[in-house]
Structure 1
Amino acid sequence: MATPLNHERQLVDILTEISHTGSVSRTAANLFMTQPTVSKLIRSQEKQYGVALIDRAQHPLRLTYAGEYYLDQMQQLIRSYQNVSNNLKGYAGTTVGRVTIGVNPSLARVVLPQLLPEFHRRFPQIQIRLFEQSASNMAQAVLNGDIDLNIGTARTYDESLEHQRLFTDGAALVIPVRLLPENFDATHPGKVATLINGQDFIEETDDSGFQRMVTSYLTQTESDPNVVLRTPNLTTALQLASAGLGATIVPASLLAEQTVEADTQIVPLPIPEFQADVAITYKTAAQLNEAATEFLNLARTIFASGND
């Protein structure tokens, strides 16, 4: 069966031989072809392009400028085609494609370093794209097909969506020492409300799934801090609290990745009063593409201990 560029490959061989031998008859002999066949192939291509490829006035024969250009360009094209063909054959039996992942920037620092390097090692031909937007829009982005998977703490209870829990995260109050009462005892910190009522406080913006849990927790514990700043990034909130701007509540996993100043107190929040399930949200498994399925399976494996 003829393959793409098969005719061009044949003419490239002919022109290459003519450039070396200067003779149609010797070219035909070297290529195990008849002289009429060689001549016919050359004239057919010359007729197609409307240019002479061989200068027949020269003896020995030489390629015209158009012939040299044709030969050079076709050789490059054939090499490029061969590279594409070889690469595609290399993909046989290998998962290829793209996976688009939605994730909160703060959570990305915790989860992605555990997943992406290993995923890329196993599936180097899968392109990874990250999508960052507010948690309130992430579920709809999954439903719309804008992203394949979303990693977050907020859950949307929709029959078209499934959730795979990765791990359960705690939280901690990070508060500058200057805001603590004089009789504060770190071993018995007391109720959160007594520490932050009326005190300067840093929150995430309202479209954050984690902030929704913080707001609910503050309501349940009758805590009423003085919100001085709202930021879309928990890392920023933590850094500002460490710098003394005010107190904040952040996930315990984020604290493990960040350092705080010595004059800042960390007060773990009691579990189960405050805990957050970090999960991957996706359309029903039957609708996942192969690349997204491989990512989900790897996440399940890596965080298996968190699902015991």
Structure 2
Amino acid sequence: MNSKLLSFLEEIKAQGNMSKAAQALFVTQPYISRVIKNAEVNFGVRLIDRSSHPIQLTYAGEKLLSYLQEENRLRANLDREMTHLSEFKYGHLTIASNDVLSNDIYEPILIRFSHKYPKIHAQVIRMNSRDAEKRLLSGSLDFFVGQPLSNPKIDYQPVAKVPLVFIIPESSSLFQSGKYKVDYDSLNFNKLSGEPFIGIPQQDFYQRAVNNYLSDLSVSPEYSLEVPDIHLAANLALDALGTTIAPEVFVSDQFVNDDQRKKINVAPIPTDAIAADFGISYMKTKQASEPITDLLNIITDVVEEYAPSR
């Protein structure tokens, strides 16, 4: 009955006329009058001011309409949430990720998520941003964890900005002997033009961002190596095979040995110059159900613990 009363009150307010409201709703005027009258008897107040022309809702009628609209909104949210929970309860969740962050970050994410949703079979796969966009649009992927995808059908929830660094080998004209970390402002980046650079596929959003940044520096790199992912590019740069730009986490102590420290410079790049945007992308048709919200919160917490902002 509440849904009928809601639609009747909304249409009477819009039309200012009981007959027109009945015509718009494809019901008879006596039926609308009976429903309104029953509600007035039930609540003990007048809902319609029939003496005014056009007719109007009374103050009580306006309040009831407001409550019914809010009840309808909450009910719709509840139905949507229950639908998503039923889909996820014994479901399968496929998460694609690029490698802006290293593999070990996904262990605590999956542990925390699995503890809360033990019935969900979660799968994490490596994928570049271009392929992830195609898979999201086709419905064969639930989430992409990485950089934002510029597609109007895809929602993006930002999580963090990952700081980046230059990894400069001893063969570069920028190399400063006897140092591991060097000051960004001390470097003459024009010298990098024509020097060996290590990159990832040019269609990847990360590589496009790096290319734009280098262009702003008036640097024209010579890509001597193109590898599938950022982590491999960082490892090769640590072995002094060329210069690259990589997430700062890849030059942390766990990834760099003493011998490598002697053969490379690391220059932290100011985050206002360039940083790797990191977040969760998913189709807009996936409403914010509890598992999605929890996954976003878990990833946010873990990333903040693992790779705090510089």
Q: TM-score, normalised by structure 1?
A: 0.61
One-letter amino acid matched to 2:162: D
Distance 2:280 2:184 in 1: 36
One-letter amino acid matched to 1:176: P
Aligned pair 1:168/2:161, yes or no? yes
One-letter amino acid matched to 2:94: T
Distance 2:200 2:147 in 1: 14
> What corresponds to 1:122 in structure 2?
116
Counterpart contact for 1:148–1:292, Cα < 8 Å: no
> What corresponds to 1:85 in structure 2?
none
Distance 1:216 1:293 in 2: 33
> What corresponds to 2:222 in structure 1?
226
Number of paired residues?
Answer: 214
Question: Larger Cα Rg: Structure 1 or Structure 2?
Answer: 1
CA deviations on 1:74-105 (whole Å, 9 max, x unpaired) are xxxxxxxxxxxxxxxxxx9x943221101114
Counterpart contact for 1:99–1:292, Cα < 8 Å: no
- Relative distance call for 1:216 and 1:182 in structure 2 (3 A) is closer
Counterpart contact for 1:152–1:209, Cα < 8 Å: no
Distance 1:215 1:182 in 2: 21
Q: TM-score, normalised by structure 2?
A: 0.60
Distance 2:286 2:175 in 1: 58
Aligned pair 1:277/2:262, yes or no? no
Aligned pair 1:103/2:97, yes or no? yes
One-letter amino acid matched to 1:162: D
One-letter amino acid matched to 1:266: V
One-letter amino acid matched to 2:164: A
Distance 2:145 2:167 in 1: 24
Greater shift, 172-181 or 265-274, is seen at 172-181
Aligned pair 1:298/2:295, yes or no? no
Distance 1:265 1:294 in 2: 39
Matches within 5 A, 1:216-295: 216-256=212-252, 258-259=255-256, 261-262=260-261, 263-284=263-284, 286-287=286-287, 291-295=291-295
1:173 CA displacement: 0.6
Distance 1:279 1:192 in 2: 33
CA deviations on 1:244-282 (whole Å, 9 max, x unpaired) are 211111112333352251211101112211112101001
One-letter amino acid matched to 2:201: T
CA deviations on 1:171-198 (whole Å, 9 max, x unpaired) are 1110112324477783465345234222
Distance 1:137 1:258 in 2: 28
RMSD, aligned α-carbons: 3.0
Distance 1:182 1:156 in 2: 37
One-letter amino acid matched to 1:172: V
One-letter amino acid matched to 1:231: V
CA deviations on 1:37-67 (whole Å, 9 max, x unpaired) are xxxxxxxxxxxxxxxxxxxxxxxxxxxxxxx
Aligned pair 1:150/2:147, yes or no? no
Q: Aligned to 1:147, what secondary structure does the other structure show?
A: coil
Q: Which 5+ residue runs of structure 1 have no aligned equivalent?
A: 1-91
Q: Which 5+ residue runs of structure 2 have no aligned equivalent?
A: 1-85
> What corresponds to 2:133 in structure 1?
139
Counterpart contact for 1:192–1:221, Cα < 8 Å: no
Counterpart contact for 1:168–1:277, Cα < 8 Å: yes
Counterpart contact for 1:162–1:283, Cα < 8 Å: yes
Aligned pair 1:214/2:224, yes or no? no
1:115 CA displacement: 1.0
Distance 2:217 2:289 in 1: 44
1:288 CA displacement: 6.3
One-letter amino acid matched to 2:235: Q
Aligned pair 1:200/2:196, yes or no? yes
1:301 CA displacement: 4.9
1:235 CA displacement: 1.7
Q: Aligned to 1:117, what secondary structure does the other structure show?
A: helix
1:292 CA displacement: 4.3
Counterpart contact for 2:99–2:229, Cα < 8 Å: yes
> What corresponds to 1:11 in structure 2?
none
CA deviations on 1:206-229 (whole Å, 9 max, x unpaired) are 132211111111111111222111
1:300 CA displacement: 4.4
Q: Aligned to 1:179, what secondary structure does the other structure show?
A: coil
One-letter amino acid matched to 2:157: Q
